[in-house]
A and B are shown apart, each in its own frame.
Chain A
Amino acid sequence: MLCKSIFAIPIGLACFLSAAPVQADQSFADGQTWGFEIGFGAGWAPDTAYTRRLDAFGYSPNDGGHYRMSFAVEKILLPYFSLLLQTNLLDNQVLYRPSGLGADDRFDWNSWSLDVHARAFVPTRNGRFRGYVQFGVGPTFTGSHLYTRTSADSGQVRHREFKVSYNVAGLLGIEGMVAKHFGFFLQGGYFFAPSLENLLGDRHQSGGGVLIAGFTGRFKRNP
């Protein structure tokens, strides 16, 4: 039931944004009410009972799984307040285990969020910069793959699983416009995203701390 209701959030947001009254804050970005953000950065998923169990079963993590991505569409609805539809790459890990024969066993997963974020912001007097705090909630989608061999004669077999769960997020950020429609942002925060669960009852938390930097585009000024 939780998953079904979570799906409704982004759909409802889309309807809400299309019908929202135009009351945007004129003081930031020259009153442009729509924006998009594309960011890249790093994140640190916590060590969990799930990953400790994988370690106990002989899996070792591959370095390099700390990169993160973020994409968002923002609609400024009120002075100092906006809503965003935001997706984040929360977690991507690859682990290997010696199989004793041929290629190593491999287990990997990726977790993406699709959240609605409420953002409160304070622009500077000239409207070129702002600081903000935002909170979000939505579904988390996690795809995992286990590559293992089932006989000495065959190659590896891939087993795929897909899981939907939820996440909540809190972020702080700053944004600066360097041109009429173009700017940069830096944001950091924390996601709580329980995701994978193994047969032994261990749960993974795919969130953790993130630090994202990127660029923004702004358009559609109020009439």
Chain B
Amino acid sequence: MNRFTLLVLLPAFLVTTGSYCETDILEDPGFQFWCGARPCEWEVEEGEVRQVPTWHDYDYAIELVGAPVVISQRAKRGPNCVRIELIADVEPSAMLFVEIDFDDDGSADWSSPINRQGFQSMSWEIPSASSVRTWRFILRKAAEGRAVIAQLRASSECHSKS
């Protein structure tokens, strides 16, 4: 097998065996895209939100104002395992939760409180049943208090099937 053949076959092999990285399953995980007063890619289901700067005037985050506030986004696809990385500045009194609604049936199937102050990061790895077809990621604020989210990233695990 000559070098040219290897150059052609190797990429084809990597693609067909799943050895590639297409990880993000949420649009705009950093809340950078705003359509007026609302984030373009996130649904504001309840309450008020606003765009706020974080470490830089032009690096944005979303503040959940007052209570209750609920925002969500349905994932582009439903992998078998998701890694969630969240960066937030949240007062414990705000009672903020990150939730996942498998199959988007209106009820949260997984939930975790967020009480990190000073833009600290948190992460989780969440497996799902193979029958789950869709994932909806939800941020739910239940009480008054500062709650600023700089990032809610959800990514599928990247691994080779070979």
Contacts and interface: CB of A to CB of B under 8 A. Distances in A.
Interface residues of B, number: 28
Contacts of B32: 99, 105, 148-150
B34 interface: yes
A56 B29 contact: no
A78 interface: no
A198 B56 contact: yes
Nearest to B52: A199
B56 A100 contact: no
Nearest to A157: B58
Interface in B39-53: 40-41, 53
Interface residues of A, number: 24
Interface stretch (B20-28, B98-106, B136-144): B20-28
B54 interface: yes
Nearest to A198: B55
Contact of A151 (B40, B53, B121): B40
B59 interface: yes
B119 A151 contact: no
B120 interface: yes
B87 interface: yes
A46 interface: no
Nearest to A200: B55
Interface in A31-84: 53-54, 56-58
B30 interface: yes
B151 A149 contact: no
Contact of A56 (B24, B28, B34, B120): B120
A125 interface: no
A158 B104 CA distance: 37
Interface in A112-163: 146, 148-152, 157, 159
